[in-house]
Every structure is written in structure tokens, then in C-alpha cells.
A and B are shown apart, each in its own frame.
Chain A
Amino acid sequence: MADSAAGGEASILITVEFTGGLEMLFSNERKHPIVLPPRLDDGSRPNITYLLQHLVEHVMRDQRKALFIMEDNVRPGILVLINDTDWELEGEEKYELQQGDNIVFVSTLHGG
């Protein structure tokens, strides 16, 4: 990152979207601007695993965590798109978030 000067790294601003019915778990809001620290305590960069934890702890008000997370990962049946690309092509939960990323969680589990 251009502004990742030592000691003064900027926070990472991303947009997280919930759709396909998942928005109901997140205050019925589809889009959530999220701010993440540039580095974690261990010096690593925040990845999707970290984001999930952050979302559950700070964004999700609904108590039914299991509808979103299972075994510390996204529940099967929920698709994750990183800048419109299937997260399977981006390293899944190990993907390190970049400034301005758009992360979409789409549930496939709802009625059709």
C-alpha cells in the first residue's frame, strides 16, 4: 500500500454487503462500511477470518450467529464475493483485505 509508511499505516476501509436474505441478520442493512486496522497484534494483515470475527462481534446484532458462521468460517450455503470474484479464487478466508475492497456475502439458503 502506498501509505503504509512504518508506524503510520492507514486503516483499511472496505464495504461489506449482505444479500440473499442475510441482510436480515445485519439490521436489515445491505451495505456496511467497515474500518479495519492495517495490522493485527501479531503483525499480520486482517484477512477474511478476521473480518468474520469483526462482523460477528461488532456489526451483527442478531443473536443467531450460527446462521452466518459455522466452525469459525462462513456457513455452507453462503457465497462470498471479493470484488465480485468468488472467494475460492482469492484464497478464501486467508485473503488479506485491501483498501477499498467490496466484500459480498450472499445467502443461497432462502426461498426461491
Chain B
Amino acid sequence: MAPTACFNCQQARAVIIRPKNRHKLCRACFLAIFETEVHETITGTNLFYPGERVAIGASGGKDSTVLAAVLKTLNERYNYGLDLCLLSIDEGIRGYRDDSLETVKRNAVQYEMPLEIVGYGELYGWTMDQVVEQVGKKGNCTYCGVFRRQALDRGAARLGIKHVVTGHNADDVAETVMMNLLRGDLPRLSRGTKIVTDSDASDIKRSKPLKYAYEKEIVLYAHHRQLDYFSTECIYSPEAFRGSARTLIKDLEKIRPSSILDIVKSGEDMAALVPRNVSQNGKGSQRVAAGEDEATGGCGSQNGRSSGGEMAAMEQQLNENETAESHETEIRLPAGPTSQKLPKGGKVIKKQTMGHCERCGYISSQRICKACTLLDGLNRNRPKTAIEVSVGMEDEESSTTLMRQMERTQLTSAEMLKKNEDEHV
């Protein structure tokens, strides 16, 4: 085929076709336009303020690597005045996270950003390797998800940072919309489409500046800028690769590339229809233990890259949680029309007083937060050898608790708790 000229500069040879509008662009124009669009997303939503300290949730994967590269570029180009740093979670998975953390460490040098790593081992006394040794591969993602939510918050708090950006892209958001549509979970659908997730009570907000960026373009951006990123599936969720919702999105994109942004738009429009205070009865569907709306860059199975098996696991998880969470947190939608009529059967949620977990001090409406509950289960079943070293269960628990108390922070976010509770990967 004869070379095609760039749609933008009409000179250089086009090397990419944009999924959203089929424009054919050369390398330079593509990079520039990609960056400009992220800039427009940022300015259009007043995402940052000058002088703001922002932590980039960095996994070493393509999305967070591109996010870091683009934010550095834009920060310098448009003088955002941001103080950027990288925040990584070390789940403690040998052969996976240790490799990707090496990538993040290189990124820290390449982008001249300080890097903070918070580990499950130090926070919880359990690495994911140890968790899997104990609970097996099935269901381990639940632990990882719950732990990660707190870990990112704690990492940010440790740095005194109140804004964490994650690498969620348009495909992720579209997938979240589809999954929640299929589950009939409008509150979560609504939340997942928002660029900023926080609440009045929240101390640390999260946002996704790449929300409108196609995964395809993110990968091409990384390729054409030769960014250094890491891509391997988590060894504990190999099935994530075949995620059914992901497959659906990719199949739709193949047929009609604009589908992805169209789904995002549809999701936003639906979100606008969701009443501000909606709670659902019955199965507590809004508490589905899934982190696809708010996973952090870091796990192959995040963002609802769920297989059918994960969906099933999610359902099971949901049922298990039901009892525990029946007194539990409300879902407050941070924005949206307040005067909407509530749907039939919906009810206004009663406000609950957010307290702190008795064990670790983390924000929770329950006496014991989800992470501590999971830790209880783990510690109770700790291999005999470990217990025999004169460590009774109580002691062991308190030692973990002590460790976590050292991490005690002033996190006071209903939203945070909710997500924490929701987190499932």
C-alpha cells in the first residue's frame, strides 16, 4: 500500500490510525495530540491545582508508565506546578512484582521522580506469596484487592499527599460500565465513570487522567516513545488474560473502534441519572467485591479483567460479605443531580457515623475493618510452626496490629472505606 500522509501535518508518513475518529497520524503528531488531549482532560476538569503534590500509582505496567511520562511532559510544558512522585505497592509476589518494581525504579530515575514503595509485608505482616501459600490461588485476589486499597492510601498518607492518580484508561472505564450494566449496579457504574473519586469525608482523592485515552493509543504511545514498561500477568491470576468483559470490549472495538468512547459516554450519561443517595436493598449489589472501578495500577486482573470464573468468585464473595456488611457502609455518590427522584424500591441511605477500625485505626464503619478481618482469618490459620514459636494467636494478632498502628493515619473517608470494602481484583 502506498504510504499515507499524516492527517494533521499532511507531510510525514502516517503510522497510526486513531480508534476514536480513524484519523491517520504520523508519529510526531500522534504523540502531540495524545498529550494535548490528556492536557484538555486535566484542564477541563480542573484536576490539579498549582503546587499540588500528586502521587502516581505506579505498577511498572503500560498505563501507569504512560501516565507518569505524560504527566511529567505536561507538567513541564504547561507549568502545572505539580510536585509529582511515584507510589508503588509491593504485594510481595516473587517473579512478578519484584520484576515490575525494578521497572518502576528505572522509571523513577528516567522521570526524575521520587519513589515510595509500600509493601504488604511491612503493612500487614503477610506478603501475597504467604497469603497464597495459606489460602491457595483461589480467592487470593480478594486479599490482594482489600490490602491494596489501604496500602495506597497509607502510602499517600505517609508522603503527606492527598491526590493519587491511576492509569485507568477508556477501555477500563468502558469495561466497568459494561460489567456494572450486566450486574444492574448503577451506583457503581456511576462511580466508575467519574474522573475523580472522593467524598466529603475523604482525605485522599483518586483520579484517572487517562480516562478518555484508548488502551491501544496508550500502548502505541509507549511504543513510539520507547517507554520502559513491564508486561506480564500476575502469576496468581493467569486467567485474567482471558477476561470476558475485556474480550467483549476488544471485540466491539474491532468491529467499531469508536464503541469504547461511546460506552464511556453512555456510562457518564447514565451516571447523571443515578440519584445522589441511592442504596439498594436485597443482595447489596453495590457492595460487590470487585475493584474494577477503582483498582490501582498494579494487577493483571484488575479493572475487571475478569474471567467467568472471577465473576463467579465475585458472586460468592458477595454472598459471603453479605452478612458482614449488612450493617455496613452507605454509598454516597460524590456528584450528580440531587433532586432526582429515587427509583422505585430505592431508598435514601441512612447516614452512618464513620469510625475507625479498632485494630488498625483505618477508617471503617465497622468495628473491625475488612483488612483486619481478613488478617484475622490468616493469622488464625498461620502454620503451626509459626505459632509454636511462643506466639499465641492473640500476640500474633496484636503484633500485626501494632505494626499497622504505626501506620495509623488520619484517614477519614467513607468513600475510602467503601472502596476498601469493595476492592476485589
Binding site for B on A (CB under 8 A): 19-21, 24, 67, 75-77, 79, 81, 84-86, 88-91, 95, 104, 106-112
Report the minimal beta-carbon distance from B33 to chain A, rounded to whole angstroms. 15
B347 at the interface (CB under 8 A from A): no
Interface membership of B412, Cβ < 8 A: no
One of B10-18, B124-132, B147-155, B323-331 contacting the partner: B10-18
Report if A112-B297 is in contact (Cβ < 8 Å); known contacts: A24-B232, A76-B251, A81-B223: yes
B1 in contact (CB, < 8 A): yes
Which residues of chain B from 231 to 257 have a CB within 8 Å of any chain A CB?
231-234, 240-242, 246-247, 250-251, 253-254
- Known A-B contacts A111-B302, A112-B169, A112-B297; A21 and B59 likewise in contact (beta carbons under 8 Å): no
B145 at interface, CB cutoff 8 A? no
21 contacts between A and B (CB under 8 A): A20-B62, A67-B241, A67-B242, A76-B250, A77-B253, A79-B216, A85-B15, A86-B17, A88-B17, A107-B231, A109-B241, A109-B305, A110-B232, A110-B233, A111-B240, A111-B298, A111-B299, A111-B302, A112-B61, A112-B62, A112-B218
- In the complex, which of the residues B14, B64, B223, B241 contacts A112, with contact meaning CB atoms closer than 8 Å? B64
Known: A111-B298, A112-B167. A19 touches B231 (CB 8 A): yes
Does the CB pair B24–A111 fall under 8 Å? no
Closest to A66 in B: B242
Give the docked Cα–Cα distance between A108 and B240 (Å).
13
A24 to B231, CA, bound (A): 10
B: number of interface residues (CB 8 Å): 45
State whether B59 touches A112 (Cβ < 8 A): yes
- Asked whether, in the complex, the Cβ of B247 is within 8 Å of the Cβ of A21, the reply is no
Q: Which residues of B contact A (CB under 8 A)?
A: 1, 4, 13-17, 24, 27, 59, 61-64, 167, 169, 171, 215-216, 218-220, 223-224, 231-234, 240-242, 246-247, 250-251, 253-254, 297-303, 305
Q: How far is the CB of B359 from chain A (nearest CB, A)?
A: 31
CB < 8 Å neighbour of A111 from B1, B14, B220, B233: B233
Tell me the bound Cα distance from A10 to B254 in angstroms: 36
Q: What is the distance, in angstroms, from B207's C-beta to the closest C-beta of chain A?
A: 16
The answer for the CA separation of A103 and B382 in the assembled complex, in Å, is 50
Question: Please, which residue of chain B has its CB at the minimum distance from the CB of A75?
Answer: B250
The answer to whether B223 and A106 have CB atoms under 8 Å apart is: yes
Taking CB atoms, residues of chain B closer than 8 Å to A79 are 216, 219-220
Q: Are B15 and A108 in contact (CB under 8 A)?
A: no
* Of the residues A89, A104, A111, contact of B17 by C-beta under 8 Å: A89
Asked if B17 contacts A76 (CB within 8 A), the reply is: no
Q: Which residues of A contact B242 (CB under 8 A)?
A: 67
Contact B298 A89 (CB under 8 A): no
Task: Evaluate contact between A110 and B1: CB separation under 8 angstroms.
Answer: no
Tell me whether A108 and B215 are in contact in the complex, defined as CB-CB below 8 angstroms, given that A76-B250, A76-B254 are known contacts: yes
Q: What's the Cα separation between A43 and B74 when bound, in Å? A: 52
Report the bound CA distance from A20 to B251 in whole Å: 19
Known contacts A20-B219, A104-B223, A109-B250, then 8 further A-B pairs from the complex at CB < 8 Å, ordered by chain A residue: A19-B223, A77-B246, A84-B27, A108-B215, A108-B218, A110-B233, A111-B234, A112-B61
Bound-state Cα–Cα, A87 to B305, Å: 26
**Contact residues in B for A108 (Cβ distance below 8 Å):** 62, 171, 215-216, 218-219, 250
Would you call B232 and A90 a contact (CB within 8 A)? no
